[in-house]
Amino acid sequence: MAELSNAPAPTPDQLVDIYRRMIRIERNDDAIRKTIRLGRLVMPYYSARGQEVIPATLSSLMTDDDKICTIYRGIHDMVAKDMPLRPLWAEIAGRVDGTCKGKGGPMHLTHPESGVMVTTGIVGSSMPIANGLAWAAKLDGSRRVTIAYFGDGASNIGAFHESLNLASVWKLPVIFVCQNNGFAEHTRYENGTSVDFIAKRAIGYGMPGHTVDGNDPLAMFAAAHEAISRARDGEGPTLLECKTFRFHGHVLGDDDKYMTKEEKAAAIAKDPLPAFKAWLVEQGHATDESLAAMQATIEAEIEDAQEFGLASPLPSVDELRRDVFAQEIPA
Amino acid sequence: MSAKKMNSLQAVNAALHQAMADDDKVIVLGEDIADREGGGVTGATAGLSTKFGDDRVKSTPISEQAIIGAAIGAALAGYKPVAEIMLMNFTAVAMDMIFNHAAKLRFMSGGQSTVPITIRTLTGAGWQTAGQHADHLEGWFAHTAGIKVVAPSNPVDYKGLLLSCIQDPDPCIFIESAGSLFIPAEVPDDLAPIPLGKARVVQEGTDVTIISWSSQVIRCQQALAPLAEAGISVELIDLRTVSPWDKEAVLASVAKTGRAVIAHEAVRHFGPGGEIASTIAEELFGQLKAPVRRLGAPYSPVPFAKVLEDAYIVSPERVVETVKALMA
């Protein structure tokens, strides 16, 4: 694995911005889980609680013009990219004001204005499409970058290997971000993956690969800065393996039979949110009061989005004939 | 108006040159397609990379998922990619990208995403390429909501329909079939795009309607003279677009003749002919003079041995026999 170069240290504003994105993800996830438990949302939910640092840090270095392709466990990636929450909530509730008019749902949320180009329910399929977005950036002569998010399980599917090879041969401005939470659905990492570090696979495709503590904002910032700069400067793709943990299993309701209670508790004890918050205050980058005010603003935004989404009308059945093709299918 | 005599592969090449010259958003990718690699295994993309540059015309690794994925991504960013999947059987390798993504992103995003890609792919029996290089799989794609399936039979339609596919806002699969590639015809230089979803009446007639597409149209055309000699007036319809298909033209013709035969190179069992036959039966039940008949390949992989391959393909003789039996 290549050594990280000396990326500039994040400014206090950047650090607080990363925390803002993290707490927005965490509060939103909490609200979704509570609403599902109350029976007011009916949806399959793949919580990314615990994985906040990864997209929060990467998004802090991206512009609205930069693109992401993500997966079914990807609402944190969208929230980090500052996707507005009203259409997000309306979509997961299956309503007309949803970003996809209620036709995609939580596994296919799309919001091109925020750069959320594709959300796929198929393991590994964010990567081939991210390459095309990156190819377009090159053809446009633009410096924009594309991130493909995926999990550790996706590094074992063919699409990963085809995509990394093509991105390298074509020197595409794309970053492959593996959020390695230690489990591919229910299968423990080492029982399904041939190497101890996914980043090692980058060697086989002629690109830099780094394994990073995905729960450490400073380590993530350095890795993200290097990979994004490299892509913007036309030097080609990078594979980032960000080690993390998912607090709520594969899908909400999962009883986590495939790990011990102790193991899970130990991983949850490393929750990056309270630790980063305390560090920001300790370093003098923020105060308890300023962060509480930030959180209150975010909670109000989420509450508003939730009310908006759940109050939005249901789609008309005519929608089945719309958006199949550009032209509506006759009744 | 000037015209050139050309075969269907040359017509594809002419359409690609014209589309790339007319619209700089048109880009082309696929295995071996650039001139450095010989301009495509059939020469269909010859000259494009030299004329339009290596950025817009890209040879790829043998990675069908990566090819279609790159086409989808570029389309989401405003380009009109034409991806070549060398042979139709290889679309199986890229089926997740085609079926789960290209076809569905518009619907799943509520209309925010458009995927105006064209997938050109070659297939067809007759060259003894056996079980993994010759299947007519239009039924797979026609069964997928969100993708258009185009299957021309002659050089004019190859050029005019490919021009339409490239400019169409939806994903299109464009089938280039062995049996129809090398029959030359005059193709106008300034040919207008031919609209998708519109059939062509190859020959008008009053006794029986034959509905076909792609290479099978050629074999149906070869049946026309013997049938005329037998005193049977045949209306031959070339569907040209398998999905969405020209229901109006087919129903109008069968309403007139009262008899229908659907002939395709694809396997008959659960083949696209079933959809057309059942639509005719539903819409024209009282007007039919005979049961609707379907001709297609047997329920078998494409074979190697010439004698088996000949038996696999629906021959002009079988078309003649079937029509005669229907009139008896």
**Average pLDDT, consecutive stretches of 10 residues, N- to C-terminus, chain B (328 residues):** 94 98 98 97 97 98 98 98 98 98 98 98 96 97 98 98 98 98 97 98 98 98 98 98 98 98 98 98 97 98 97 98 96
Supply the pLDDT for residue A6: 67
Supply the pLDDT for residue A4: 56
Supply the pLDDT for residue A274: 97
Burial per residue of B76-105, b for 16 or more beta-carbon CB atoms within 10 angstroms, e otherwise: bbebbbbbbbbbbbbbebbbbbbbbbbbbb
| Chain B CA closest to residue A120 | B101
Supply the pLDDT for residue A1: 40
Contacts with A122 from chain B: Cβ below 8 Å: 96, 100-101
Confidence grade of residue A5 (pLDDT, cut at 50, 70, 90)? low
Q: Do B74 and A158 touch (CB under 8 A)?
A: no
Q: Determine the Cα–Cα distance for residues B80 and B24; give it in Å rounded to an integer.
A: 9
Which CATH superfamily groups domain B3-188?
A: Thiamin diphosphate (ThDP)-binding fold, Pyr/PP domains (3.40.50.970)
Residues A143-154, mean pLDDT to the nearest whole number: 97
Query: Does residue A210 register a pLDDT over 50?
Result: yes
Burial status of residue A104 (CB atoms within 10 A of its CB: 0-12, 13-18, 19 or more): buried
Q: Do B66 and A166 touch (CB under 8 A)?
A: yes
Residue carrying structure tokens 């297609």: B296
Query: Does residue A2 register a pLDDT over 50?
Result: no
ipTM of the shown complex: 0.96
Strands B234-238 vs B200-203: parallel, antiparallel or unpaired:
antiparallel
What confidence tens digit (pLDDT) does each residue in A55-101 have? Answer: 999 999 999 999 999 999 999 999 999 999 999 999 999 999 999 99
Task: Count chain A–chain B contacts defined by CB atoms under 8 A.
Answer: 149
Taking the domain B200-327, which CATH number applies?
A: 3.40.50.920
Is residue B136 among the annotated active site residues?
Answer: no
pTM of the model: 0.97
Q: Determine the Cα–Cα distance for residues A9 and A15; give it in Å rounded to an integer.
A: 10
Q: Does residue B147 contact residue B102 with C-beta atoms inside 8 Å?
A: yes
Strand partners, A188: A183
Residue carrying structure tokens 């209309």: B111
Largest CA distance in chain B: 61
Confidence grade of residue A32 (pLDDT, cut at 50, 70, 90)? very high
Taking the CB of residue A221, how many other CB atoms lie within 10 A of it?
24
Q: Do A110 and B65 touch (CB under 8 A)?
A: no
Q: Do A101 and B110 touch (CB under 8 A)?
A: yes
Supply the pLDDT for residue B167: 98
Contacts with A130 from chain B: Cβ below 8 Å: 69, 73
Q: Where are the domains of chain B?
A: 3-188, 200-327
